[in-house]
Amino acid sequence: MDLKAWLATAVASNADWVKSFGPYQAHPALAVDDARFAAAFEVFTERLKDNYPFFHPRYAGQMLKPPHPAAVVGYLTAMLINPNNHALDGGPATAEMEREAVQQLATMFGYDTHLGHLTTSGTIANLEALFVARELHPGKGVAYSTEAHYTHGRMCRVLGVEGHPVPVDDLGRMDLDALERVLRTGRVGTVVLTAGTTGLGAVEPIHEALALRERYGVRIHVDAAYGGFFTLLAGAPGPEGLPEEPWRAIAEADSIVVDPHKHGLQPYGCGAVLFRDPSVGRFYLHDSPYTYFTSEELHLGEISLECSRAGAAAAALWLTFQLIPPTREGLGQSLAAGRRAALRWAELIEGSAHLELYQAPELDIVSYFPVTEAATLSQIDAASNRILQEGMTDSDPVFVSTLRVGADRLTALHPKLVRDADGARVLRSVLMKPESEGYVDHLHERLERLARA
């Protein structure tokens, strides 16, 4: 895509639409001449250079990458109109686009019927899911693994419900025996299972937890904010294929959260929440006599805790899905490349004398640590931090992140390590850009060189 040409076309299209309503006089209060703008814009663009190169495969730190050009063009084109998807009269076109894009997400997960909408983030999407859970199970708490995103504990406090952190196994997945012990207390109404933890990309046993739902009458909420789009690789041929069971089981979950602004190629912020039972919409009921008046159809604001939301986010997602749909042959190809990159790097690390694999990647997050002279947790921690800092400032920079792991987990997976601290930082790399597949050998060489130093 020629982004520059399509952005110019977007501006021209908007100008033509504006002209169709007849001329009007622009008010001088908001006028800015090009010379003044140029001065401010020069400062602005210079300040934006104080960023890491999220676009480049040498950046393998956090879950960050630029949106697809189609999403950029879609967002800008709609942003010039600035629709608000809260009410149909605030954005009739983009509200319809939102419904269609959310239907594609529901189909991707296997929902036959659904109620859902976009949100500004996975945090808000999870808040909505837990809000509905609280209304359905008043007085009951929420169980989530200790590796779940911190938003769940935080939102339990916001909602005034009891949170129940559940221990994980050695691979960072919820321990279902520990979960059942919590469920036996009768204090839990909802269980959160994570499909792709943000630390390690671990996929919790959703298919096995469904039996506990029937036994204890709890709701199952799947937080697939990070990993949800990997459902496209469930049962796929080749090394990138994933076990089908946990992903297919998502279709039986009561609610799902996924973030298109992660693997869905969208700009921030674009999250989504889906409910399997549309009747939960009754918990959102409210009156807004000055808002919902142009249509008898259900307004998106009537099934959302948020009020104003950018219609441009829905437009960007809709346009992207027209070109790269959430199917294995479409968006799945991008995820497959990142998954193959992670597997390739894990293989290189396993053959290295200077790096050691912390645990095998389940999705596209690779975790590893430097081999140190003394195999102590304190030396590994210090070396990991040194590599992080030196990698960012090197003339051939590489950007990774660290993950703090407790001593019990580290020594359980790596018994040879000497436990002289309560934990250590290990290195963590997120290979969510498909370009990582062609760059991973260079990443490995750079990390080996840093580890040797």
At 8-35, the pLDDT tens digits run 999 999 999 999 999 999 999 999 999 9
3-state secondary structure of 241: coil
In the predicted model, what is the mean pLDDT of the chain? 95
What is the spatial distance between Cα 357 and Cα 86, in angstroms, rounded to a whole number? Answer: 47
- DSSP character at residue 18: H
Which class does domain 331-452 fall in?
A: alpha beta
Are 77-287+296-323 and 331-452 equal in CATH topology? no
**C-alpha separations of 161 from 131, 139, 140, 352 in Å:** 10, 7, 7, 47
Question: With bands split at pLDDT 50, 70 and 90, how would you rate the model's confidence at 289?
Answer: very low
* Predicted confidence (pLDDT) per residue in 46-66, tens digit: 999 999 999 999 999 999 999
**Residue carrying structure tokens 């703090």:** 404
pLDDT of residue 89: 80
On the question of a cis peptide bond just before residue 269, with omega within 30 degrees of 0, the verdict is yes
- DSSP character at residue 267: P
Identity (one letter) of the amino acid at 206?
Answer: I
Half-sphere exposure of residue 418, counting CA atoms within 13 Å on the CB side? 10
Token pair in block for residue 100: 């269609």
What is the spatial distance between Cα 322 and Cα 96, in angstroms, rounded to a whole number? Answer: 14
Question: With bands split at pLDDT 50, 70 and 90, how would you rate the model's confidence at 301?
Answer: low
The average pLDDT across 115-124 equals: 95
Which class does domain 77-287+296-323 fall in?
A: alpha beta
The Cβ of residue 393 has, within 10 Å, a number of other Cβ atoms equal to 7
* Predicted confidence (pLDDT) per residue in 302-333, tens digit: 778 888 899 999 999 999 999 999 999 999 99
Q: Is the pLDDT of residue 296 over 80?
A: no
Domain extent listing, the chain? 77-287+296-323, 331-452
**Residue carrying structure tokens 């040194």:** 386
Q: Which residue(s) pair with 168 in the sheet?
A: 174
What is the spatial distance between Cα 223 and Cα 219, in angstroms, rounded to a whole number? Answer: 13
Question: With bands split at pLDDT 50, 70 and 90, how would you rate the model's confidence at 291?
Answer: very low
